[in-house]
Amino acid sequence: MRHSFLASTVALVLAACGGPNAKNAQPLPNAHATDSPGSKNSSGLMLADSDDAKRDENGSVPIHRFDVVLGARAQASTLIVYARPTADDLKTMVSFVEKLRAEIKPDDLRIVIRTIPNDVTTTVIAQTAQAVYDVAGADAFMAFVKQVSKEPPPADEKALSTWLDAAAASAQADQAAVAKERASDRIAKKLAFDTVQAEKVEYSDGVSIFLNAVPLRPDAPIKALAQYMKEQRSHGDELAKEKGASAAYEELANAGLNEVKEAKNKSKEPEPNDTLAWYVPIGKSPVRGGKDALVTIVEFADMECPYCAKIEPTFEKIRAEFGDKVRFVWKNEPLPMHPRAVPAAMLAYEARAQKGEDGFWNAHDALLAQQDRLANEDLEAIAEKLGLNVKKVQAAVKTSKYEGIIDADVELAEEVNAAGTPHLFINGRRLVGNQPHEVIKKMVEEEIAHAESLEKKGVKPRAIYDHIMGQAIRPFAPPFVTIEVPEDAPRKGTGKVLVQEFADFECPYCARAKSMLDHLVRERGKEITLVWRHLPLPMHEQAQPASQAAIEVKKQKGDAGFWKYYAALFENQKEGLERATLLKHAKGLGVDEKALTKALDEKTHEKRVNEDLEAARTLDINGAPTFIVGGFLISGALPYRAFSKLVDFAIKNPHGVKEELTIVDLAEGSGAVAKSGDTVNVHYTGTLPDGSIFDSSRPPNETFSLKLGEGKVIAGWEKGLLGMKQGGKRVLTIPPSLGYGNKGSPPKIPGRMPLLFEIELVKLEAK
């Protein structure tokens, strides 16, 4: 739901790009046209040995000799485009590149295109696209991806191959040469290179663009992007005159990396809290270690994630050091850039079904040991080596037999904000990433000591984890809001639970939410009613007219007509939302074109759109899509299963959830009891529900003093400290009504946000 004009990391660059004016730019020394040397349609194979192709392979932001390049290879300023090889993303990529090249001369910019697969089908498409480039060049590559983007690929493997061969032929690439190249090691290595580079820039999905290492928004106004790119090219020209093209690109790339680093440091997210215990149930997940273990390490991980493999030696060391005192739990969190993570997980769970827990962990070890070889034939070889029934493994992979297990893990990861892999919870305490051995060991030792203290109080070893989870932080209910729904708002479904969608017809994230909402209405249309609310965002120039057109369509054709128009606009969003497009889709529904044109010319429905905008403003809704599900407000689209669970929650809680202060005593203390009028000195750590610390007295190690009852702190603090003993420690969960309310406390605390405070009462002075 991020829709800033450009990515936040670019704002600083745009404000200070300041190179020479583009109109005074001089061409780079020895600059070549597209695909030089050779003819314009030179193959990637021909170009790979050229000096220009090899020039930047070892740079800070490397350009591979087999990268698909549009524009001048010798150009310094470089735009790298990452895209999934799906019909939608390729269509978006092609449209973006064509619009950009209409604004920028071909030799004014080097455009590099990389396709990043995430499953078997997209891997074959990416392999074929690269092969087309290798044997027939950039023009053929663009013709191929344009053809492939016209429709979803066939599901059948044989049909997919035929379909791709036809697309290659239409791009005038020799089919036999493409087939041979597609199977080469060169292609496999190139896609592996692309994936590594994508991970470096934290690419996750959709279409992403980077100009000289700086991320930009591909949905920003194209003229503004083009102007910025021209300025960067002009700056590169000046550098090239002085230092040469290669050094110029390296300087631009390093400057971009530094700008991004500086911007990230300025907006650096707080460190995650590693002292709170979060509710992470084991459920039926695979466990390595005994039930009497004092410490449970839950790992959210991905079979293809290199960092998940790198942390394994540390885990082996922990097992060797602590033996049966520690057990490990695996939870799945397959990342979008790892297409073989899910098939690999299917093998591991089938191994578990056939050979129990040992079967899972043996498969787990084998898979992590060869992450670069996880194709179907590799999985079959692993299955055979592990003594599994290979046919059952093949069937499990093909049918995604254990998809439900993986989906449940992903939902849990979202609930506990386990973003990125590996993400660890050690007796509920959060550790993010491939942490050093000494960090994990220290936390394990602390938790063993904690567990042993619980044993002394009578908690049996196999009950320790459940005991800790009983006091752990559980998922928070979304904020509950009340808002009047206009009678003329488009509706779909017949249920009592209103699902209001505040959205924008030009927003790509809203378009992606459509399939989930279609699924929701299809499955739960008798329980929910989907309601559309207009939220055209300022950076989307065509969104306001599109909303006005949609209102006129509803006026003429009712709710049914509106939802057909809604589908047409989102499903063809890549066409744009110019007047002609709005009229075309309306005409297809039998709408009176003259009446629609008049409504748009006279802005007849602008006031109605602005009413929805005002309603959103009163609730501080400023991003799309935002949903209100039976009163519960969430930003962004959830996966279907998670959204459906929210519907269940709304059904059970039609009037919201009562907001209450929750107190958990970690240590009772032995001193005087705090009461109103007393002065207390405390240490505290404030944590948001995502696990990040927003305030603390620990650094700089200065206690905070306050007199209870004076009302100088939020109400939750006043109430939460009463009755606490000197020397005691407790965790307060403070609801928004006892915290900072609907407005929050910018910039660190958003509105409607529950807060977690760990408090230690160091000193108490009675009144």
Three-state SS letters, 14-49: HHCCCCCCHHHCCCCCCCCCCCCCCCCCCCHHHHCC
Decide if 565 is catalytic.
no
Decide if 757 is catalytic.
yes
Q: What are phi and psi of 111, to 5 degrees?
A: -110, 120
Helices (H) and strands (E) in the chain, counts: 26, 21
Query: Of residues 559, 694, 704, 749, which has the active-site annotation?
Result: 694
Decide if 509 is catalytic.
no
Query: Of residues 108, 621, 740, 759, which has the active-site annotation?
Result: 740
Helix (H, G, I), strand (E, B) or coil at 758: strand
Give me the torsion for CA of 345, 348, 354, 355, rounded to 10°.
-160
Beta strands in 44-138 (DSSP E): 68-70, 78-83, 110-115
Query: Of residues 684, 693, 734, 759, which has the active-site annotation?
Result: 684
Decide if 740 is catalytic.
yes
Rounded distance between C-alpha atoms, residue 68 and residue 189, angstroms = 15
Nearest CA to 418 out of 648, 710, 428, 284 is that of: 428
| Per-residue CA distances from 650 to 498, 646, 656, 662 (Å) | 10, 6, 8, 22
The 8-class DSSP code of residue 108 comes to G
Rounded distance between C-alpha atoms, residue 189 and residue 191, angstroms = 6
Rounded distance between C-alpha atoms, residue 502 and residue 615, angstroms = 10
Farthest-apart Cα atoms in the chain, separation = 90
Query: Of residues 282, 695, 704, 749, which has the active-site annotation?
Result: 695
Q: What are phi and psi of 733, to 5 degrees?
A: -105, 110
Q: Answer positive or negative: Cα dihedral of 483, 487, 491, 494.
A: positive
Buried b (16+ CB within 10 A) or exposed e, 577-602: beeebbbebbeeeebeeeebbebbee
**Interacting residues of 610 by C-beta distance below 8 A, sequence separation 6+:** none
Rounded distance between C-alpha atoms, residue 96 and residue 219, angstroms = 8
Rounded distance between C-alpha atoms, residue 195 and residue 335, angstroms = 12
Assess contact for 152 and 146: CB atoms under 8 A: no
Does an H or E element contain 328, and which? strand 326-332
Rounded distance between C-alpha atoms, residue 133 and residue 553, angstroms = 45
Rounded distance between C-alpha atoms, residue 585 and residue 658, angstroms = 46
Rounded distance between C-alpha atoms, residue 573 and residue 503, angstroms = 14
Amino acid at 616: A
Rounded distance between C-alpha atoms, residue 453 and residue 667, angstroms = 12
Assess contact for 145 and 170: CB atoms under 8 A: no
Rounded distance between C-alpha atoms, residue 73 and residue 67, angstroms = 10
Amino acid at 716: G
Query: Of residues 111, 426, 693, 714, which has the active-site annotation?
Result: 714
Residue owning tokens 């977690």:
756
Q: What positions carry a catalytic annotation?
A: 684, 694-695, 714, 740, 757
